[in-house]
Amino acid sequence: METLTIDKPTQTADFLPLNGTDYVEFYVGNAKQAAYYYKAAFGFQDLAYAGPETGIRDRASYVLQQGKIRLVLTTPLTSGHPIAEHIKKHGDGVKILALSVNDAYDAFKQTTQRGARVYMEPQTLTDEHGEVRMSGIMLYGETVHLFVERKNYNGPFLPGYQPKESHHHPTDTGLLYIDHCVGNVGWHKMNEWVNFYEDIMGFRNILTFDDKMISTEYSALMSKVMSNGNGFVKFPINEPAEGKKKSQIEEYLEFYEGEGVQHLALATQDIVKTVTDLQSRGIEFLTVPTTYYDELIDRVGHIDEDLEPLKKLGILVDRDDEGYLLQIFTKPVEDRPTLFFEIIQRKGAKSFGAGNFKALFEAIEREQESRGNL
Ligand code: FE2
């Protein structure tokens, strides 16, 4: 399968230098139980906590860490709280994609003067561990980007949070960092958000998948991958496309009741070990028919891994000019068919597995059909 590569040279200096993803915050109905799920099933560890016991009266937040990945799970404590409205509408989902910057005030200035809508005016939070400077702008749907500057801070997470003690320390599953984070936007909205990332954030469109490449009778969608200047942060954007059946993106938009984060791709250096581990802890993955593996080596050429474990686990492989990648997708991790995770191991490849879209979308279609949403 071909991918159209658009690789425009960067003509100006990076006006929004990003060090990577700082954290991802989920708004959930029960943060205590969600934290247990991400610890037990995905192998995250407690890092910090904020709630009534630490002087925060209206919500509870659990911060978990594995490798460089930090997740925050937040729940409101009363029905009238704005976070409760968010959960009522969207179910559990990602609210905040926080980006690490060297200057949160300048990040705010650079993006808002280019037209970003304000979510959080720049502010400085302090406690005995130092200061964190933060600001924020609106993204698609009710999702937001926060800019976090923590070079003068040595506390566990942010002011207001305290270290979390626990007797529950599940072993990690080898997850290292967030490779990319995908957003689903509404009909004909993809280019609006591509322009947002280009004009307001200084990103580049590095890959495009149009509906001819990834549709026919399968879940039709179009996708563009946006990357920041140094390539540390990548946000693919999907929009639905007309097909014979209901697009998986449409199903998401219907059940999330709007635009939002579709999946987080978490990187590992040993996908067979990671997926074996995740599966044994109860994580459910999409599976492809074993015939996928009959022509795999013809399609992707030599790979270092044995085929049998990949086949047994349902791990997909794709190749581009620079190498290959191995990937697998979980089923949605909540009852609404919205957010899911990808586990990815890159062996040189910088692409996103376009050669797997057909097999993958057929698998998603089977799931949609079982939910009566096709
Ligand atoms: Fe992905």
Question: What is the 85 CA–ligand 1 centroid distance (Å)?
Answer: 28
Residues sharing a CB contact under 8 Å with residue 235, sequence separation 6 or more, in sequence order:
97, 180, 181, 182, 183, 197, 203, 225, 226, 227
Question: What is the 262 CA–ligand 1 centroid distance (Å)?
Answer: 9
Nearest to 98 by CA among 84, 119, 112: 119
| CA gap 91, 94 in Å, rounded | 10
User: In Å, what is the CA distance from 196 to each residue of 138, 178, 238, 296, 308?
Assistant: 11, 21, 14, 38, 43
- Same CATH fold assignment for domains 20-163 and 175-371: yes
| CA gap 249, 357 in Å, rounded | 14
Rg of the chain over CA atoms, in angstroms?
Answer: 20
Question: What is the 171 CA–ligand 1 centroid distance (Å)?
Answer: 25
Residue-level pLDDT, tens digit, the chain, 374 residues: 344 555 555 556 799 999 999 999 999 999 999 999 999 999 999 999 999 999 999 999 999 999 999 999 999 999 999 999 999 999 999 999 999 999 999 999 999 999 999 999 999 999 999 999 999 999 999 999 999 999 999 999 999 999 998 999 999 999 999 999 999 999 999 999 999 999 999 999 999 987 666 655 666 788 999 999 998 999 999 999 887 778 889 999 999 999 999 999 999 999 999 999 999 999 999 988 888 998 899 999 999 999 999 999 999 999 999 999 999 999 999 999 999 999 999 999 998 888 888 788 888 888 888 899 88
Q: Which fold has domain 20-163?
A: 2,3-Dihydroxybiphenyl 1,2-Dioxygenase; domain 1 (3.10.180)
Question: What is the 364 CA–ligand 1 centroid distance (Å)?
Answer: 14
pLDDT at residue number 365: 85
Question: What is the 266 CA–ligand 1 centroid distance (Å)?
Answer: 9
pLDDT at residue number 255: 98
Question: What is the 198 CA–ligand 1 centroid distance (Å)?
Answer: 20
| Contact assessment for residue 147 and residue 104, using Cβ atoms and an 8 Å cutoff | yes
Question: What is the 34 CA–ligand 1 centroid distance (Å)?
Answer: 23
- Start-to-end C-alpha separation, the chain: 25
Q: What is the CATH number of domain 175-371?
A: 3.10.180.10
DSSP string for residues in 142-201: T-EEEEEE-TTB-SSSSTT-EEPP-S--PPP--EEEEEEEEEE--TT-HHHHHHIIIIIT
Question: What is the 181 CA–ligand 1 centroid distance (Å)?
Answer: 7
Question: What is the 62 CA–ligand 1 centroid distance (Å)?
Answer: 25
Question: What is the 77 CA–ligand 1 centroid distance (Å)?
Answer: 33
- Angle among Cα 95, 98, 100 to the nearest 5 degrees reads 180
Residue 81 corresponds to which amino acid?
H
- Provide the residue ranges of all domains of the chain, joining segments of one domain with +: 20-163, 175-371
Question: What is the 131 CA–ligand 1 centroid distance (Å)?
Answer: 34
Q: Which two tokens stand for residue 258?
A: 């709007």
Question: What is the 53 CA–ligand 1 centroid distance (Å)?
Answer: 38
